[in-house]
Structures are given as C-alpha cells and as structure tokens.
Amino acid sequence: MADGKKVAAGRTKGQIRDGNGRFVKGKPGGPGRPRGKSITKALQEILAHHKRYSAEAVAEAAFFLAVEKKDMRAIEFITDRMDGKTAQPVDITARIIEVAEQMGVDPKDAIAEAESYLKGR
C-alpha cells in the first residue's frame, strides 16, 4: 500500500484485507483463539476433580439464583441454554454502500441486489 501499486482488482500492495473485508491470500488473520485449555475443558476437569460439585449442582445454583433471587444474569443464563440465544439483528447497509463505492457500483443497485439475494435464500 505504501507505493499504491495495484495488485489485483480492489487491492493494493501490502493490503491485508480485500474489498469484502476478507484476508487476502498469504496474509493470515489475527492470532485467533489462544492455544491451550478451553474454559469448557477446565470446568469439566474441575467438576471431575471435585466430586461434591457437579453440572447438576451448577444448574441448581443457577436455578436458585434465577427463581429465588430474581437474578437477571441467572435468568438469561438459563433461558439461553434452554431456548438458545435470541437472534441479534444486524444492519449491513453501511458496509454494502462502502463496498459498492469501492467497486464503483451504484450503492442503490448493490442494496437492491443484496435484498434480492437475501429474499431468495
């Protein structure tokens, strides 16, 4: 990017991401998830080591906090596991406009195309 030389459509030399926000070939993403033990694995080991504690005991504690103490975090914890987390709406219009402008496409056409694509899914 320093010399501004074009390398491929929509990319400049030294660029890490393409016009769609994806990493370009040969440029790996960030460090990703840290290596080592996951929290799930660590909790499983703790539960296995401390026999008096179990997944059921944790569930009972969460249930107690939710029902008896009206603890909203405990209520969310339980409902997220029972019903699944609620869908989070995402507005991608600004990103569509940005990419359309980078590609020299009319943003209105790009939005119409994206809406048409999503309706056809």
Query: How many residues are there in the chain?
Result: 121
Cβ distance 24 to 33 under 8 Å? no
Q: Is the pLDDT of residue 108 over 90?
A: yes
Whether residues 14 and 24 fall in one domain: yes
For residue 121, the enclosing domain spans 89-121
Q: Is residue 40 part of a domain?
A: no
* Per-residue pLDDT band at 49 (split at 50, 70, 90): confident
State how many domains the chain has: 3
Q: Is residue 35 part of a domain?
A: no
Q: Is residue 41 part of a domain?
A: no
Give the closest residue to 20 by CA, choosing from 121, 107, 115, 103: 103
Q: Is residue 94 part of a domain?
A: yes
Whether residues 62 and 80 fall in one domain: yes
Share of the chain above pLDDT 90, in %: 33
Whether residues 99 and 84 fall in one domain: no
Whether residues 80 and 105 fall in one domain: no
| Whole-prediction pTM | 0.40
Cβ distance 106 to 113 under 8 Å? no
Whether residues 79 and 97 fall in one domain: no
**Sign of the torsion angle spanned by Cα atoms 65, 69, 72, 75:** positive
